[in-house]
């Protein structure tokens, strides 16, 4: 992967860069503010950008706004938001901008290097990678649509794990069921959500967005 890192804490920024470089990824740029992030993405055209939500110049939502701009101008660029706390309104705003190549992790996840790099790769590949705590809070916000209320309890469990970016094999392991059982649940979810086979869209991502997006 070619990665741009946008994080105003110099120590964490350097840690992320070293961690990704040691795993064979190209860190094209490390920046500390939102304006520099926009410039770095334009110059280096990364596969994915790791973006702290609260960055200079105002240290409010500058990183998020830069991420949304990047998604609009370069929709093929994955964006992984990074935050100290769960801020559901920010996650919802990013998810509303597109259905593929987005993620939101808490900074504490960096401690698990394999988990973090796997999540970053999923985002770069056009999938989702949402922190379990983010999923929990987003799933409890807003009204559920009629389509979603038709899901069984087990189907909702599967969809929640899909939202975290887990594969069918990982879902099967988490729920202690067979991979075939998970495949049947996933097929049922797609059918109930009205997501037929398509060459143009990732149905897993579309299902996740429909699940998490506020009405």
Read off the pLDDT of residues 159-179 as tens digits, 9 standing for 90 and up. Answer: 888 877 788 888 999 999 999
Task: Decide the pairing of beta strands 102-106 and 48-52.
Answer: unpaired
Question: What's residue 16's pLDDT?
Answer: 95
| DSSP 3-state of 14 | helix
Question: What's residue 214's pLDDT?
Answer: 44
| DSSP code for 77 | S
Question: What's residue 213's pLDDT?
Answer: 59
Question: What's residue 39's pLDDT?
Answer: 97
Question: What's residue 30's pLDDT?
Answer: 97
Query: Position of tokens 């509303």?
Result: 96
| DSSP code for 100 | S
Q: What is the pTM of this model?
A: 0.75
Residues of the chain with pLDDT under 70: 97-99, 138-147, 197-203, 205-206, 209-215
Question: What's residue 198's pLDDT?
Answer: 55
């Amino acid at each position: 992967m070619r990665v741009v890192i946008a994080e105003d804490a110099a120590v964490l920024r350097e840690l992320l860069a070293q961690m990704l470089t040691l795993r064979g990824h190209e860190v094209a740029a490390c920046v500390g503010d939102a304006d520099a992030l926009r410039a770095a993405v334009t110059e280096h055209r990364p596969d994915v950008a790791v973006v702290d939500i609260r960055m200079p110049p105002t240290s409010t939502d500058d990183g998020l706004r830069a991420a949304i701009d990047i998604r609009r101008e370069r929709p093929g660029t994955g964006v992984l938001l990074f935050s100290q706390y769960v801020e559901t309104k920010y996650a919802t705003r990013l998810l509303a901008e597109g259905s593929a190549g987005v993620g939101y992790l808490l900074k504490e996840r960096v401690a698990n290097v394999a988990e973090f790099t796997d999540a970053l790769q999923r985002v770069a590949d056009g999938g989702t990678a949402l922190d379990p705590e983010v999923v929990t809070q987003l799933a409890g916000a807003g009204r559920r649509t009629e389509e979603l209320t038709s899901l069984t309890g087990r189907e909702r469990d599967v969809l929640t794990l899909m939202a975290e970016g887990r594969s069918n094999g990982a879902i099967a392991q988490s729920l202690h069921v067979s991979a075939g059982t998970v495949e049947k649940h996933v097929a049922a979810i797609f059918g109930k959500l009205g997501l037929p086979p398509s060459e143009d869209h990732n149905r897993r991502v579309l299902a996740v967005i429909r699940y998490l997006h506020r009405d």
